Structure 1
């Protein structure tokens, strides 16, 4: 794999056939099978990254570039956005929500982490983004886990609660998976850029 810099400090990555083969699997396993690529990801942040390889589809190339952007975002984590919530929380997986390995697979597939550090807990929701967004207009209720104010769903929602059991950094994060069905508690915030209130995080699923 060759790395070439141009005068604008962009980066072009030449992907060999063996590396291309490894990319065909789950994006979350990339750093597990390519230690050299992990070293590249941890380099000093660059202005932007370009990946040139004739064998890569446009979709796969964009996925890889987005993955690198996640790691080089400013601040401890990326600012909350509508698209981030959709990507990291809303699930449409065919895997049963009761599967004991659900979180181990889905956390990697959806790239849920804090600058490569394992997220200590996370919730996935089986619902449309539009239904979750409507919750932001529900009245405030007393929350859990030390959070003062939350919005609660008016309907029963299914989801999965992931809790970290071992590991510090990806891809070595291991989670327990707990299927839950009940009232969902979320936090929301106003986004000036789009002029909307958006869901930010899922705090709990109160089982019925």
Structure 2
């Protein structure tokens, strides 16, 4: 069967005349932005559409999105969460996170907590570690919005023991704080 090129719509005719594109793996030779490297583009696609963790835990990530900055705002400021989450770009696939914690402590204290004994997490599963020292923090609960940057949060000052999960990092051969599960009030 022969296809007459003159009977094809113009866009389809144009596609037939283009040389074939070679795509290897996940968009290997295709870049949306000229400044993206191959690895950056694949990381971007995975972060946008992947279902699992996008990157291994890191000190930099905890410092960027969890640790409260000294003298930025008082921890009891009602706008702490809404402003802090926007400023630090805390989101999941450009969607508002349901809750978040900012902690006034050091990374070293959180990492030391990773070596404490296992306690039940807030949801009842084992796997959390409880800090030995009470710390200050802010609990952020989403009250309005679904997509960044239109997320509004209620800020609640807290003082107590933090429950965290930790993950092993093969590169550094140490436990890295991963997720803040809860804060238990000091009694």
Distance 2:150 2:42 in 1: 21
* Residue ranges of structure 1 left out of the alignment (5+ in a row): 1-6, 14-44, 50-67
TM-score, scaled to structure 1: 0.66
Distance 1:88 1:119 in 2: 12
| Residue in structure 1 matched with residue 65 of structure 2 by the alignment | 88
When normalised by structure 2's length, the TM-score is 0.73
- Give ranges in structure 2 of 5+ residues lacking alignment: 1-28
1:193 deviates by 2.1
Does residue 169 in structure 1 map to residue 169 in structure 2?
no
Q: Which has the larger radius of gyration?
A: 2
1:206 corresponds to which residue?
184
Give the Cα–Cα distance (whole angstroms) in 2 for the partners of residues 158 and 175 of structure 1. 18
DSSP-derived class of the 1:91 partner: coil
1:144 and 2:122 aligned: yes
**Shift in Å, 1:91:** 1.4
Distance across 1 between alignment mates of 2:42 and 2:150: 21
Asked whether 1:11 is paired with 2:33, we answer yes
Please tell me whether residue 179 in structure 1 is matched to residue 157 in structure 2: yes
* CA contact 1:159–1:180 (8 Å) conserved in 2: yes
State whether residues 103 and 162 of structure 1, in contact with CA within 8 Å, keep that contact through their aligned partners in structure 2.
yes
- Residue 120 of structure 1, aligned match among 98, 101, 108: 98
Q: Is residue 100–residue 177 contact of structure 1 (8 Å, CA) maintained in 2?
A: yes
Q: CA deviation at 1:103?
A: 0.3
- The runs of 4+ residues in structure 1 deviating greater than 6 Å are none
Query: Equivalent residue of 2:81, what SS?
Result: helix
Bigger mean CA deviation after superposition, 78-87 or 158-167: 78-87
State the distance in 1 between where 2:43 and 2:133 align: 33
Q: State which drifts further: 193-202 or 76-85.
A: 76-85
Give the conservation status (yes or no) of the 8 Å contact 2:118–2:126.
no
